[in-house]
């Protein structure tokens, strides 16, 4: 489905990004994996991707930095002849009620989740425009659609990602480039692993399908959006949340 396509995946070393990288590789895509600081997780994922017989390289890069992402994209474009797919998945949470949320935790969540996506699209924009094809997939969250107490920073960032997605879809449609967002609900990763058991069981209780999702389920949706089969879908926000936000 993705044979000979080259995909850049931010936060591709762990959780949802790791599952997307492996699913893309299973479908024949070569992978440029961007990670933050966890070298051990990166090496494990990179080894598993390479075992699937595709070309894969990893790049340490802080997506919240305009300059770092610019440098990394030029490295990737030197290593890979073209980039067909960009998945903006890297994200962090710093939860807390707005009453006590300090400016630095607001800024860092916006910088990683929202500005990180802007930086990556910005630096690949002219490359994708010139090749007149491409797929951009941004990982948002239902928190950005419905709001969530304790996540003023995160839901603002993810709502921003949705606005960014729709604008990019309109700007690049004429060049045969689609841009869509995936809005997961509760997915079992390190990010949700840090929630208390009480919070997790309260969340599961609210989910009509009565379970959390797994990263592989998100990865299958991302693979469809990255494929040629999704060519008439752009500017969409697709929820994958077990019915939590119906």
Binding mask 70-109 for ligand NAP (x = CB under 6 A): -------------------xxxx-----------------
Among 9, 15, 156, 226, binds ligand NAP (CB under 6 A): 15
191 touches ligand NAP (CB under 6 A): yes
**Helices 15-26 and 215-226 sit at what angle, rounded to 10 degrees?**
50
**DSSP structure string for 61-79:** --TT-HHHHHHHHHHHHHH
CA distance 99 to 89: 28
The residues in 54-73 that bind ligand NAP, with binding defined as CB under 6 A, are: 61-64
Among 1, 28, 41, 200, binds ligand NAP (CB under 6 A): 41
CA distance 69 to 205: 40
Tell me whether residue 245 is one of the annotated catalytic residues.
no
Instruction: State the alpha helices, DSSP H only, in 135-231.
Output: 143-146, 152-172, 190-193, 197-206, 215-226
Q: Which is nearer to ligand NAP, 15 or 134 (CB)?
A: 15
**Residues near ligand NAP (CB under 6 A):** 10-11, 13-17, 34-38, 41, 61-64, 89-92, 112-113, 139, 141, 184, 186-187, 189-192
Active site residues: 154
């Amino acid at each position: 489905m993705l044979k000979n396509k080259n995909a850049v995946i931010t936060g591709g070393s762990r959780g949802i990004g790791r599952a997307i990288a492996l699913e893309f590789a299973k479908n024949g895509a070569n992978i440029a994996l961007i990670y933050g600081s966890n070298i051990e997780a990166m090496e494990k994922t990179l080894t598993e991707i390479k075992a699937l017989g595709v070309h894969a390289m990893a790049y340490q890069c802080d997506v919240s930095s305009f300059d770092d992402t610019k440098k990394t994209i030029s490295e990737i474009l030197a290593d890979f002849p073209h980039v067909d797919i960009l998945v903006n998945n890297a994200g962090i949470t710093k939860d807390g009620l707005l009453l006590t949320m300090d400016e630095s935790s607001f800024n860092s969540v916006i910088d990683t989740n929202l500005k990180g996506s802007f930086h990556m699209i910005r630096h690949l924009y002219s490359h994708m425009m010139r090749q007149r094809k491409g797929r951009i997939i941004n990982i948002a969250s239902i928190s950005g659609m419905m709001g969530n107490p304790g996540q003023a920073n995160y839901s603002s960032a993810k709502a921003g990602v949705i606005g960014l997605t729709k604008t990019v879809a309109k700007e690049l449609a004429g060049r045969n480039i689609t841009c869509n967002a995936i809005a997961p609900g509760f997915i079992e990763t390190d990010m949700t692993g840090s929630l208390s058991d009480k919070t997790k069981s309260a969340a599961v209780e609210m989910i009509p399908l009565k379970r959390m999702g797994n990263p592989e389920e998100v990865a299958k949706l991302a693979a469809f959006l990255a494929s040629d089969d999704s060519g008439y879908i752009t500017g969409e926000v697709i929820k994958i949340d077990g019915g939590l936000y119906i």
